[in-house]
Structure 1
Amino acid sequence: MEEFAQQFINRIKSPIFGYFLVSFIAINWDPIFYLFFHTASVPLRINYFKESVDFYSAFAFPFLISIVYSIAYPWINFLIGYATNQAVELRDNLSIDADHRTTIKKRNLEEARSELFRIKEEIILERAAVDQKINEIDDENTREELKVQLTEIRKPDSSKPLSSNIHFPEFDTDLQSIIGQLLVTMAANKSVMLRDDLKSILGFSDVKNDVLITELIRHKYIDIIQVSQNNFKYSLTSRAKKVLVDKKLIN
């Protein structure tokens, strides 16, 4: 008896039985409602139920629907899971692409800085070569005179960074060096740089950085060449390149 009861309970718990029961109620809701809730006499309600429910509505259609749903339900779950996985994969790919672009920008910036350091090293080596040639002069008076002249020539560079000998009349004195370094770095980076990288080199507050970038555009040192994903890309103008070439900071 217990085994029979357990088997009966297992069958009731079966998903297909639940689908069948739901389908049966959905198809025959009107006679079921009349049977249980109408105020007519019991025999009348039973007769109405028998007349309204036949083999097809009581068994065939609910059974067919439950079979179809039992087969379709796993596929529906599969399609939902597949669509969800696709969305998650696309989101992850976007995140990976963003990280990749950030890595490329950092690498380009590092390459630009390396190029700037290379230029500095070349200048130092050139100075050393000139000093060596002067020291090789036999005439002491001539040698000392050249050293004095060379010291006077190098004074602007001896106490300031590489780009401080570039003069930008539109900007204050304390900004000359940083703007010069910015333009040299842009030149080493194929004359193109993103707004975030510009701000990183300037190193001021966001407000001051924005003001300086606006002024650089207004005075035609840089131009906006592209806008994408809430970021701006800038390029050196012909005027800025001419200044750098005249000062022999780029070839």
Structure 2
Amino acid sequence: MKELVEAVNNRIKTPYFGYAVLSFIALNWRGFFVLLVSEGKPEEKLALFDARTDIYSLLIYPLIIGAVVAATTHWLRYLFGLIERKPKELIENLQLEAEHKKTIKQTQLEQSRSDFFAVKENELIERAKRDEAVADIENSETKEKLRKQLETIRVEREQLSNELQKQQQSKNNLSVEAREILIAASADNHGSILKLRTDNGNNIQAGNDSFGSEDHKSFVKYEAALEQLIKFDYVKEIGHKGDAFELTHKAWESVGAL
């Protein structure tokens, strides 16, 4: 008996019978509803049920629909698979391109670091050679004078190198919004930036573009970006009202590299 129940159970769980059962319920739900909620004798209930059902809805249509759905299910899955394959490929290609660009950027950074340290090493070697050459000079007055001149040049080079590094660092630390404002302002020959506060809303006007006009949160974000540009000496204030600015010489020199 147990084996028979399990066999019937397994048979009912097959896709065909599952679809047939669902079709049976969908076609005859009105009859079952009337059978459950109506009052009266069993004969009257059955009569109401029979009035809303027939052999087609109870047997023939569910079997046909179950067969059709079971036969077309895999074809439908195949069709949907074909439809979604192209966008999936495009998304995967975008992800691969992004990873490729990231790898290239990392490789370039590693190469830049390697070149930088190689230059530093060569500079130390050349410096040691010059120090040896100075040490070989017999005239003490000439030796001391040359040593001081070399030290002055080296200090100036270190200061220049540190300044360039700070400029590069400040450029790299600019937020996306700050870069947007800087590029928009540089598109105008005047390089002007205005902070506008009106009854209709606030915004940052840079060149011909407007930023932060969507809502207060957006405006505050671009206002912070403008303050960042001022901090890094890319923008300076005009007047004393705090609403008019222009690009500095440093900004005009740097904007091409952004």
- Could you say which TM-score interval applies, normalised by the shorter chain? 0.5 to 0.7
Residue equivalent to 2:250: 220
- 5+ residue gaps, structure 2, are 175-227, 236-247
Quick one: which amino acid aligns to residue 178 of structure 1? N
Whole-angstrom CA distance in 2 between matches of 1:129 and 1:89: 58
Contact 2:134/2:147 (8 A) holds in 1: no
- C-alpha distance in 1 between matches for 2:114 and 2:127: 20
**Corresponding residue number in structure 1 for 2:158:** 163
Shift of residue 27, structure 1, vs aligned partner:
0.7
- Counterparts in 2 of 1:6 and 1:44: CA distance versus 1, 3 Å: same
- Write the letter of the residue equivalent to 1:25: I
- Equivalent residue for 2:110? 110
Q: Which residue is 1:195 aligned to?
A: 172
Normalised by the length of structure 1, the TM-score is 0.53
Is the Cα contact below 8 Å between 1:163 and 1:180 reproduced in 2?
Answer: no
CA distance, structure 2, for counterparts of residue 145 and residue 60 of structure 1: 117
Q: Measure how far apart 1:48 and its partner are.
A: 3.1
Residues 194, 6 of structure 1: alpha-carbon distance in 2 compared, 3 angstrom cutoff: same
How does 1:48-67 map onto structure 2 within 5 Å? 48-67=48-67
Contact 1:120 / 1:162 at 8 angstroms: preserved in 2? no
Q: In structure 2, how many angstroms separate the alpha carbons of the residues matched to 1:125 and 1:3?
A: 89
1:1-251 map, 5 Å = 7-74=7-74, 79=80, 90=91, 94=95, 100-121=100-121, 123-124=123-124, 140-141=138-139, 144-157=140-153, 160=155, 162-164=157-159, 166=160, 177-181=161-165, 195=172, 214-215=232-233, 218-220=248-250, 222-225=253-256, 234=258
Larger radius of gyration: 1
CA deviation after TM superposition for structure 1 residue 38, in Å: 0.9
Amino acid at match of 2:149: I
- Give the conservation status (yes or no) of the 8 Å contact 2:20–2:65: yes
TM-score scaled by length of structure 2:
0.52
User: Which residue of 2 is the match for residue 171 of structure 1?
Assistant: none
Structure 1 position 39, deviation (Å): 1.0
In 2, Cα distance between equivalents of 1:136 and 1:101: 52
Aligned pair in 2 of structure 1 residues 163, 102: CA closer, same or farther (>3 Å)? farther
C-alpha distance 131-37 of structure 1, shift in aligned 2 (>3 A): closer
Residue-by-residue CA offset, 1:173-206 (whole Å, 9 max, x unaligned) = xxxx5223456xx6xxxxxx97259xxxxxxxxx
